[in-house]
Amino acid sequence: MERIPILKMGDFLLVTIQVDLYDQLAENLESDLINTINKHSSKGVLIDISAVSIIDSFMGRILGNIAVMAKILDAQTVVVGMQPAVAITLVELGLSLNGVISALNVEKGMDLLRAKMYKGDNEEQIDDDNSDQ
Amino acid sequence: MERIPILKMGDFLLVTIQVDLYDQLAENLESDLINTINKHSSKGVLIDISAVSIIDSFMGRILGNIAVMAKILDAQTVVVGMQPAVAITLVELGLSLNGVISALNVEKGMDLLRAKMYKGDNEEQIDDDNSDQ
């Protein structure tokens, strides 16, 4: 059975999508990703789609599902490397990738995730301070 | 034309091989990789083969070629994530992946590259010291 590899890079996971997602492959990716987040207590997921030349509503829904599932396990999902033509097509098709955060490339995606982790820690700090009062 | 994406991560490049390499794809990967090393002055290349279920002599030669080409541009290549079954088959087939360094996973591969960079710097330092005498 074909599977998309999930690479652990410190606190984050990296997935590169190079093949067309079909039902079973997408389902495997979702379950593998959730299990890997759980196993490594990952704080973020980077999904690289630089090799994807078209995003249809199915793929859009999968990306959205992954983001929601990861969020439940307290991990942020960032989609990186979208080709300009894909962004144009997305808008023309009226698909908006709701709930999915994106960044230009993997490095910027990692910076974004680190910034969100840092901000998240600060917010908790503030909440703790308020609850003490 | 299908291409394998090359991700820049700081000083290193990361390539995840998920599909069977055929002539044109392998050729594109080689030229893309060399151009990207040149463009970003990358010091290392990580090739993740965790999704590869068999390595034949063609793929072995491509990995070897990439390592040699990268070395000429002063970048070290590390193959990471080889499945245990692939390692067994390689040895049974009598293929040894000459000149290719490997590591268990991407994180260990990065550590290895960083250690090599550091060692390389030190060696240059020693050479400089000797030439002064």
pLDDT tens string B32-73:
999 999 999 999 999 999 999 888 888 888 999 999 999 999
Out of B16, B81, B110, the one facing A16 most closely (by C-beta) is B16
Domain count, chain B: 1
Residue B114 lies in a domain: yes
Residue A50 lies in a domain: yes
Residue A123 lies in a domain: yes
Residue B47 lies in a domain: yes
Residue A1 lies in a domain: no
Is the ipTM of this structure higher than 0.95? no
In angstroms, the separation between the Cα of residue A107 and the nearest Cα of chain B is 6
According to DSSP, the β-strands at A101-103 and B101-103 are: unpaired
- Of B96 and B39, the structure prediction assigns the larger pLDDT to B39
Residue B94 lies in a domain: yes
pLDDT one-digit tens code per residue, A4-33: 999 999 999 999 999 888 889 999 999 999
Residue B67 lies in a domain: yes
How big is chain B by its Cα radius of gyration, in Å? 16
pLDDT value for A130: 52
Enter the DSSP assignment of A21: -
Enter the DSSP assignment of A116: H
CATH of the domain at A121: 3.30.750.24
pLDDT value for A126: 53
- Helix, strand, coil percentages (3-state) for chain A, rounded to 5, are 55, 15, 30
Out of A18, A50, A81, the one facing B19 most closely (by C-beta) is A18
User: Tokens 């199915």 label which residue?
Assistant: A58
**The domain containing residue A109 runs over which residues?**
6-132
Record: contact A9-B51, CB cut-off 8 A: no
pLDDT value for A133: 45
User: Tokens 């463009």 label which residue?
Assistant: B39
Residue B1 lies in a domain: no
pTM exceeding 0.95: no
Enter the DSSP assignment of A17: -
- Give the tokens for residue B61: 């030669």
Residues of A in contact with B107 (CB under 8 A): 8-10
